[in-house]
Structure 1
C-alpha cells in the first residue's frame, strides 16, 4: 500500500509483483488496521503457518512479510476462532 517512485524501480530497489491489482500491507500497516500490535500479528501468522495455513508472502528470511486483503480476512477469521487469554465469564 506504498506508492513506488519510478526511480526506485529503475534503480532496482523495488520489488515488482506481477498479477492482479490488490491492496497489500506490511505487518505494521495491517496491525494498525486491525487495532492490534505488530508482535501480536506476527504471533498469529506464526500460529497459522504452524497449523498449515499458507498466509502472506515472503521472498526470503530477511525480506518483510507482505499481506494481501484475503490474508487480512483469514487473519481476522483465525483470531475470532482462536481467542487468546482467559475465557470470558458468562453473566448469570
Structure 2
C-alpha cells in the first residue's frame, strides 16, 4: 500500500519522515521533496538533481516503509483512544 502521494504531501511531514531514516544526501532529499510536494515525476526529479533514478526509487521505498510504520502506530493509538472513550 502506498502511504505517500506525489503532489499531496506537506514539506514538514516529509521532513519528519526523513528524520526517521538514514537518507542524508541533499540531492536525494531535494528530489524526494520535489516529487512528493509538487508532483514532479520521479524520473524528472532524479534528472533535475543529478541522481540515478534507481537511487531515488530505492529511497522512495525506504520512505514508504517509514510512513507505513507511522501509519501502523496511528492505527494502534486510534484504537486505544476509541477503547478508552467507550470505557467512560
RCO greater where, 1 or 2, for CA within 8 Å and sep 6 or more?
2
| TM-score, normalisation: structure 2 | 0.34
Instruction: Tell me which protein shows more strand as a share of its residues.
Output: 1
Instruction: Tell me which protein shows more helix as a share of its residues.
Output: 2
